[in-house]
Amino acid sequence: MRTRISLITVFIVLSLCHADKAEAQFWKHWFRRDEPVPKPAGHDKKRLDEGPPRRDEPPRYRRRQDFEYPYSEKKTRYRIDVLAPLYLDELVKDNKPAYKGRIPEKASTGTEFCQGIQLAADTLNKLGFQVDVYIHDAASTQEAPEALIRSRVLDKSDLIIGAIQSPQIPEVAQYAKKHQVNFISAASPSDAGVTGNPYFTIMQPTLQTHCAAIMKRLQKQYKNTTIAVYRRSYVPLDESAFNFLMDIDEGRSNRVVKVLCNKIPVKETLAQVFSPDNVNVVVMAVMDVAYAEQLLAQLHDDFPGYKFEVYGMPSWRSMGELRKPDAFPNSVIHLTAPAYFDLTTQQGRYLSDVCYKAYGSKPGETVCRGYETLFWYAYLLRKYGTIFNPDISDNGIVPFTRYDIKHQWDTNGEILYNENEHVYWYRYQDASYMVE
């Protein structure tokens, strides 16, 4: 009964964002169309593929432990549980909206993610998928992960998708490992300290993965070039990013100059690093967007005739100055990102159309993320069964992102978790950008 009530209140919240009724009612079971169920493909135990070594470990000192997934069970129907912070206790009173107009910011991420879930569910329903989807308000006392686990609500789940943040991740990951059910962390780029868990998958690349992508690109494109790496030693997250950057030594042919930027560096110090005759390559391990803007502005103010290729952190995509003409005229700025949702593609146009019909707006990134997460993993369940992990490279059906899920290992050769290592490159120049 709790699940049915949750779905009704979710629908009320989602209805705040649109004028037209959605094509399918969100609280009902979905995907009722009958279709032939593929016969089990004899999913024998498959050994975890070894893949490339973890970036920060010398391969010659490692010996991985063998790991085998259990048999994959194929079913006529699958159950998917979705955890997202919706704050329904605050937004809905007596089955009526407590807010009029815009949903509070703290609830918008979870709500938009569930909008994407609903749109994917409607699409899969039309395609004849046999899946039941249950939404749980992770911000509610009664439906927080620990409550769901304690009340055994998740015991019949074939897949758990979580748009939750790091404090709630470990308990769900531990439950998933114990019950051998996949837990997909769709929103947080943090591993939350989880280790030894082949059933835990991080969809958003970690900071370490972003930093590895930056240094590997620099090693490829700027051989025998001096690279200035900015660091802030008193900010833990910035220092972690700096250490990740410095850990990538394999094949390095460029010289690294470390620039301490606990305060804005003085011009005289930077003049010894930069050249007016060559393109200057700079990596800034600074997550704070406002401070990063100051560092970028200095490159123009103190060195207006110089040219810079700047590599920043993934958090910089929220930097408004990047979209203003003449903000950083002498710098080309490169950023990594976990996804690029191109709404001009056939899938993108379809999602835009159904989203506009349902909610009166075009889909944002969080809606797209919810949509493609459910769409892909429902496909994997139907094709491969509950333990689809050995076939995770089958991503051709994904609407936008070409996920590259890799098993991560510790220095003892034991598995940590699974992580998407695919990143996109954004190149900003003169208030415009291109995506690679």
Cα 131 to the center of its chain, rounded Å? 24
Tokens found for residue 243: 């250490």
Q: Which residues contact 357 (CB under 8 A, 6 or more apart)?
A: 20, 22, 23
Per-residue pLDDT for 17 more than 80? no
Q: For 262-293, what is each residue's pLDDT tens digit?
A: 999 999 999 999 999 999 999 999 999 999 99
pTM (2 d.p.): 0.85
* Mean pLDDT, range 212-227, rounded to an integer: 91
Q: For 133-176, what is each residue's pLDDT tens digit?
A: 999 999 999 999 999 999 999 999 999 999 999 999 999 999 99
* Mean pLDDT, range 175-190, rounded to an integer: 97
d(CA 64, CA 69): 15
Q: Mapping DSSP to helix (H, G, I), strand (E, B) and coil, where does residue 36 land?
A: coil
Q: Mapping DSSP to helix (H, G, I), strand (E, B) and coil, where does residue 389 land?
A: helix
pLDDT of residue 241: 97
> What phi, psi does 96 have (nearest 5°)?
-130, 145
Tokens found for residue 433: 């950008």
d(CA 157, CA 405): 22
Q: Mapping DSSP to helix (H, G, I), strand (E, B) and coil, where does residue 226 land?
A: strand
Please report, rounded to a whole number, the percentage of residues in the chain having pLDDT higher than 70: 84
Sign of torsion over alpha carbons 347, 348, 353, 358: positive
CB contact at 8 A, 388 and 184: no
Q: Which of 47-51, 89-93, 156-160, 347-351 has the lowest mean pLDDT?
A: 47-51
pLDDT of residue 66: 60
Tokens found for residue 16: 């705040």
Q: 182-185 and 255-260: which strand pairing?
A: unpaired
> Strand runs (DSSP E) across 212-260, as ranges?
226-231, 255-260
Tokens found for residue 263: 């305060």
* Mean pLDDT, range 88-94, rounded to an integer: 83
Nearest to 45 by CA among 304, 385, 381: 385
Q: Read off the pLDDT band of 64 (50, 70, 90).
A: low
Q: Which of 194-203, 219-228, 389-398 has the lowest mean pLDDT?
A: 219-228
CB contact at 8 A, 274 and 228: yes
Q: Mapping DSSP to helix (H, G, I), strand (E, B) and coil, where does residue 85 land?
A: coil
Domains of the chain: 2-31+45-204+342-422 (3.40.50.2300), 208-337 (3.40.50.2300)
* CA torsion angle 388 393 399 402 (round to 10): 140
d(CA 198, CA 69): 8
